Structure 1
Amino acid sequence: MTKQPGRVPAAESDEPVVDPAIPSGRSMPAPGAAALALLALGWLAAMLWSTREAIASSAAGVTAISLSAFALPGVISAALVAGAAVALAFGNLLFRRYGDGVTLRFVGAIGAGMVVGLAAALAINLTYFDTSTTNVIAGTTAAAAIIGGAVAGARTAPAVGAVTAAALGTLVFVVAFSRARDPLFDLFGAGDSQESLVNAAKWVSRTESLVAGVLAGLLAFGYLSWARRRAVRRDPDAPALRWPAYLLAGAGPGLLLLLAEVIIRIGGRSLLDLAGALSEADAVAQTSLGTSRVDNGIWVLFVGALTALIAFGRTLGPARSDDEPVAADDSPAPDTDHQPDPADADPAEADRAR
């Protein structure tokens, strides 16, 4: 076959194929947001159901008020994470359809959080007993979900997804850790005296916060690493997240716990005051639990941030110093200085060669 003039033979391109469903831009969607939203909604439903069962199993009156106050932090934290997860999934849909619009993403995130909050409040009002605490729980839960949706409206979706996934894992761990409290109390020397019980409780709480912080940091780092690998497969020119994103993702679960505490103390203040007014012991218990939640959030914040940053640092290679010489080619260069001049060659040899 002859080559036609002006025709260039077709060559296969070595460039990877970019997913056409994802618009080109600086930001990328959060991977696994739909599954994360389903898990967060399931956790919120479990918290609402367990709170309802605890209140329903108690006698009406002071016991229901006390149990509602004890269960409120778990419900608010779950609503905050669920609102963020659903808003993140909805933001991915908007990103794929309309591109990277900051205003549209933020408005859609708030709307998604509002839907979660209103659905949770409606479920509480329909399934809980009609008590003085029902409206407080419903309103505070709705507010937490809306605030969680607003948090998910941030531009860096993978970092928000890492915070949400790590926060959900931390909440599940805290509930699962309750089964290990009794053995740890014995391990830390809890006895019959009040002082030994207080010291053991302090060490158990610190152990829980430390392990939860390490878990939060590892989950955040793992999610961002997974998001980075997916982004590179789709678009090799996708920008890589720098260390501040990993630092924020590791600290995010602790920040969400502290944010949940602020929501509890503002939206659920009437319920907490009502529970604290039942008796002096209840007042001391509510104060102690509030302080413990704040301490736990601070521990998770700093330990999670440090863990994620250390994990990210271990993935970095050693930096090359400016004074380090560049490796040269080991193959010997042709020596042009000692090549014989044709004019100096033996005439007889030259004639024989001709």
Structure 2
Amino acid sequence: MSNEPGGPTAAAPDQSEATDTGVDDHPTTGRAAPAPGATVLALLAAGWLAAMLWSTREAISSATAGVTAVSLSAFALPGVISAALVAGAAVGLAVGEPVARRTERVTLRFAVAVGAGLLVGLLAALAIDLTYAGDVTTRTIAGTTAAAAVIGGALAGARNGAVVGAVAAAALGTLLFVVAFSLARDPLFDLYSAGDTQQALVNAASWVSRTESLLAGLIAGGLAFGYLTWARRRAERDGDDAPRWPAYLVAGAGPGLLLLLTEVIIRVGGRSLIDLAAALSDADAVAQTSLGTSRVDNAIWVLFVGALAAVISFGRTLGSPTADEE
């Protein structure tokens, strides 16, 4: 009798069979996580580009001679190009994200993002032509700025908008930090210098550069992690696919990759301006070579440190296996 159905010792149904109904408790739409705050990010990036264009114009206008104007233009070119890259990516993301939410047509989303980047580039080039002195220097800055904005828009056409937004936000924060770090550069140089010899000064400058690159990488990784965490929470709320660890790796390395891309644009599109500045004197030639090498080193530092910081930060949010079993 104990084995009769409904008896006191009748076998209970398997809990796994009872609960496994084949229905996911957290269904997803299959769409990539959206990019939160894309419009605000686009406005901030466009404002930063406008600020860089204005500061470059003021620096060139204050030059007392044409030779000085050429040198200042070459020094300011990397900042303008990096700002145009970020602005093109941010504006392209803000315009392309609504399209991505309404359709799965990758080509249309990419075309809209590129068109937005092209618009940013044309407006920036027009502003340069109207407000800068009309010479070969102006045309070089305008052309490379427009090209950088278009390339940024093309990057915004990627399928995963959250990663693009994280890269743009982290890159913008990194650029802001580099400008703010200039206030601490002289005190750090005095701190690192161990004498007045030439070698001591070179070593101090090297340590200042490494400190800046390390801090910039940490900021890039932290901002990328924070943005993707924000995007993940929104994705979980809306049922979209949350970013996984490769997204954090790419987003953390993204600002460094953009800095390397900036250097490529400078050496291709801005080669004539760099060569013109280097031809002014032997000291200018050495300065341009040194600055180019320093920018590449800084980009590599930001790339690796940012990627490690973002991935490690993401890893710390994962529960330990022991805690999950308990």
1:189 Cα deviation (Å)?
1.3
After TM superposition, which residue ranges in structure 1, 4 or more long, deviate above 6 angstroms? none
Q: Give 1:330's aligned residue.
A: none
1:304 equivalenced with 2:309 (yes/no): no
Question: Contact 1:251–1:302 at 8 Å: present in 2 too?
Answer: yes
Q: Give 2:276's aligned residue.
A: 274
Alpha-carbon distance in structure 1 between the residues aligned to 2:302 and 2:53: 24
1:239 Cα deviation (Å)?
1.9
- Structure with greater helix percent: 2
Alpha-carbon distance in structure 2 between the residues aligned to 1:254 and 1:191: 33
Alpha-carbon distance in structure 1 between the residues aligned to 2:316 and 2:322: 16
Question: Contact 1:27–1:100 at 8 Å: present in 2 too?
Answer: no
Alpha-carbon distance in structure 2 between the residues aligned to 1:307 and 1:58: 41
1:64 equivalenced with 2:45 (yes/no): no
1:219 equivalenced with 2:223 (yes/no): yes
Letter in 1 for 2:298: N
Q: Give 1:345's aligned residue.
A: none
Could you tell me the percent identity over the aligned residues? 74
Alignment of 1:1-354 (within 5 A): 24-96=29-101, 98-189=102-193, 191-235=195-239, 238-319=240-321
1:95 Cα deviation (Å)?
2.6
CA RMSD in angstroms comes to 2.0
Question: Contact 1:25–1:100 at 8 Å: present in 2 too?
Answer: no
What is the SS of the residue equivalent to 2:136?
Answer: coil
Question: Contact 1:125–1:134 at 8 Å: present in 2 too?
Answer: yes
Counting matched residue pairs gives 302
1:116 Cα deviation (Å)?
0.3
Alpha-carbon distance in structure 2 between the residues aligned to 1:191 and 1:68: 33
Unpaired runs of at least 5, structure 1: 1-15, 328-354
Letter in 2 for 1:274: L
Based on CA coordinates, which of the two structures has the bigger radius of gyration? 1
Question: Contact 2:33–2:242 at 8 Å: present in 1 too?
Answer: no
Q: TM-score when scaled to structure 2?
A: 0.89
1:129 Cα deviation (Å)?
1.1
Letter in 1 for 2:268: I
Alpha-carbon distance in structure 1 between the residues aligned to 2:274 and 2:136: 12
Alpha-carbon deviations, 1:7-60, whole Å to 9, x = none? xxxxxxxxx9x9xxxx94422321100000000000000000000000000023
Alpha-carbon distance in structure 2 between the residues aligned to 1:231 and 1:27: 8
Q: TM-score when scaled to structure 1?
A: 0.82
Letter in 2 for 1:186: D
What is the SS of the residue equivalent to 1:311?
Answer: helix
Alpha-carbon distance in structure 2 between the residues aligned to 1:311 and 1:131: 48
1:316 Cα deviation (Å)?
0.5
Q: Give 1:336's aligned residue.
A: none
Alpha-carbon distance in structure 1 between the residues aligned to 2:287 and 2:195: 20
Distance 1:190 1:122, change over 3 A: farther
Letter in 1 for 2:166: A
Q: Give 1:338's aligned residue.
A: none
Q: Give 1:352's aligned residue.
A: none
1:170 Cα deviation (Å)?
0.2
